[in-house]
A and B are shown apart, each in its own frame.
Chain A
Amino acid sequence: MEVYILKIRDGFMLREVAEQWVVIPLGERVVEFNGIMTLSESGAALWKEMEKNVLEEDLVRFILKEYSVDEKIAKTDVLEFVNAVRKKGLLEE
């Protein structure tokens, strides 16, 4: 089984604006990144964890530690979040 380190691509930063967490593209990422990606509080917390180059299991452990949810829900939420970030082209592949 392959183990993927989840790493946010360079040139993107997370910032709170107007009480929303927003992914901001920098430099030449401005043109390649279309639209806006806003994150919820928990999404922003996961993003900050991903900035530390972690594994998917680390994110699940983080969710279990920070939020009172069971493992199944935590795994589903993490998978959903990682897929959304990947779909936007924000992950190093």
Chain B
Amino acid sequence: MALDKSFAEIPRELEFVLNCVKCSPTEKESICILLSPDMDWDYVLRLSMAHSIFPLVYNTLNSLDTLIIPEYVINSLRQSSIMNAIKVVGMSNEIVRIINNMNEYGIQVLILKGSPLSVKINEDIAYRPSNDIDILVDPLEFASAEKILVQMGYSRVYPDFLLTPRQQEAFFTRCNHFEYFHLKRNIHVELHWRIRFYNVKYFPPLSKLKTQKMNLSGCLVSVMDNEYWLIFLMVHGHKHMWSRLRWLYDIKEFMKMNIDWDKLIIQADISGLRPIINQTLILANELLDVPIPQCMVQSVANDQKAWQLAFTAIDKLFININELSLPGPKFLALKKNIFDDLDYYNLPWKSKLFLIFSLFKPCEVEFKLISLPDNLYPLYYFIRPLYLLWRGIVRG
């Protein structure tokens, strides 16, 4: 199977930024060949920003000795790269502070992406755009970890109201993380208690994950072992429909590491993730010329579901930049376009039914709307459909 049909429609500007992502700045020829005087540079800028690849595009463009690139494009990319560096270097320091505080109380934390991922793929941490710090803790240590974050000056912003024990239980069943914000440091933290997505059958909790330590500014930071980390990055990209090329760049660079593919496949199959692994390999190969590992070629070639997922992701990538909605679909956004999105995720009908029924379970909207004591919690099951009905009427 090939993706040529979709590729025929690729805009020149997208092809250009794709080349900036897949080629090193030293491979100037393959990048220069796409430069033309009628290039829509605003479109290039929008793509670079929307796909969080502006530092990569800046490095490439800055290395080219040509007058075709307007000065404002280079300046804009440079400015964004500097602003990003200021943000992520601060976040990197904050990761160290959080880990030191958590360690003091004996709480094990695992960093999911951010600066440790830059270190892993041998990239300057200043060049990886990041909006928040993603931390995974054991569900049993979640309450203590939250307490430490609050002591460090963080306030919870999602959910942004006090939860009763029953409401908290509902959140724990339905969601994966709470969000926090440090007003004086201007930093967002997502505290995860599990990795979960509705077509991921199983992802080990922190206590069962194999981990490795990495050195970040002199601090030893725990991250997943190479195989689970790569699986996680693939699941994360899939979950967000690969709406950012930056995630695919991470995969490309990560695949240069020492990966035990046999081990990865065993772990992926336990979790029913083979199509997601294959989808990622197809995308990385088709878009960024990443070779498919020999041991995976047969698996990729025969995986119809993976090709379908890859086609859908590429179609979404090629839509007009004005229609891009970033970041990718979160749970609430999914509810909005549930039928379209369910097609993409290619869920079995049982999961689809489960997901549709779960829409009728009470959630944060009702908890925030009407605060009920736990003994009246069942009333939320009546409030929820009424609220949905009211919302439907108001929205017409």
Given the interface contacts A24-B89, A24-B90, A25-B90, does A30 sit within 8 Å of B185 by beta carbon? yes
A-B CB proximity, top 9 nearest? A17-B85, A18-B81, A28-B184, A18-B78, A24-B89, A26-B93, A17-B126, A30-B186, A24-B86
Task: List the A residue with the shortest CB-CB distance to B126.
Answer: A17
Residues in chain B near residue A20, CB distance under 8 A: 78, 82
In the complex, are the beta carbons of A30 and B126 less than 8 A apart?
no
Q: B367 near A: Cβ within 8 Å? A: no
Q: Could you pull out 30 A-B pairs where Cβ atoms are within 8 angstroms?
A: A17-B81, A17-B82, A17-B85, A17-B126, A18-B55, A18-B58, A18-B59, A18-B81, A18-B82, A18-B85, A19-B78, A20-B82, A22-B85, A22-B86, A24-B86, A24-B90, A26-B90, A27-B90, A27-B94, A27-B97, A27-B185, A28-B184, A28-B185, A30-B184, A30-B187, A31-B183, A31-B185, A36-B82, A36-B83, A38-B82
CA distance A27 to B153 in the complex (A): 11
Interface size class of chain B, counting residues whose CB lies under 8 Å from the partner chain: 20 to 34
A13 part of interface (Cβ distance < 8 Å): yes
Q: Does B308 contact A (CB under 8 A)?
A: no
- Tell me the bound Cα distance from A31 to B58 in angstroms: 27
* Distance to closest chain B CB from A20 (angstroms): 6
In this assembly, does B155 line the interface, its C-beta being within 8 Å of a C-beta of chain A?
no
Bound Cα distance A25, B187 (Å): 13
Residue of A nearest to B86 (CB): A24
Complex: chain A residue closest to B54, CB-CB: A18
Inside 8 A of B58's CB, which chain A residues have their CB? 18
| Interface status of A15 (Cβ within 8 A of chain B) | yes
Q: Chain A: which residue is nearest B93 at the CB level?
A: A26
Main SS of the interface on chain B?
helix
List B77-130 residues whose CB lies under 8 Å from chain A: 77-78, 81-83, 85-86, 89-90, 93-94, 97, 126
**Closest-CB distance, B363 to chain A (whole angstroms):** 33
Q: Across the two chains, which residue of chain A brings its CB closest to B81? A: A18
How long is the Cα–Cα vector from A25 to B86 in the complex, in angstroms? Answer: 7
Alpha-carbon distance between A30 and B59 when the two chains are bound, in angstroms: 26
Tell me the residues in window 9-67 of chain A with beta carbons closer than 8 Å to chain B beta carbons.
13, 15, 17-20, 22, 24-28, 30-31, 36, 38
Query: Does any Cβ of A come within 8 Å of B62's Cβ?
Result: yes
Contact in complex: B89, A15 (CB < 8 Å): yes
Known contacts A18-B85, A31-B185; 5 further A-B pairs (Cβ under 8 A) = A18-B58, A19-B78, A25-B86, A28-B185, A30-B186
A19 to B186, CA, bound (A): 26
Q: How far is the CA of A31 from the CA of B82 in the complex (A)?
A: 17
B181 → A minimal CB distance (Å) = 12
Taking CB atoms, residues of chain A closer than 8 Å to B184 are 28, 30-31
- A22–B81 Cα distance when bound, in Å, is 11
Given A28-B184, A30-B185, A31-B185: A18 and B86 within 8 A (CB)?
Answer: no
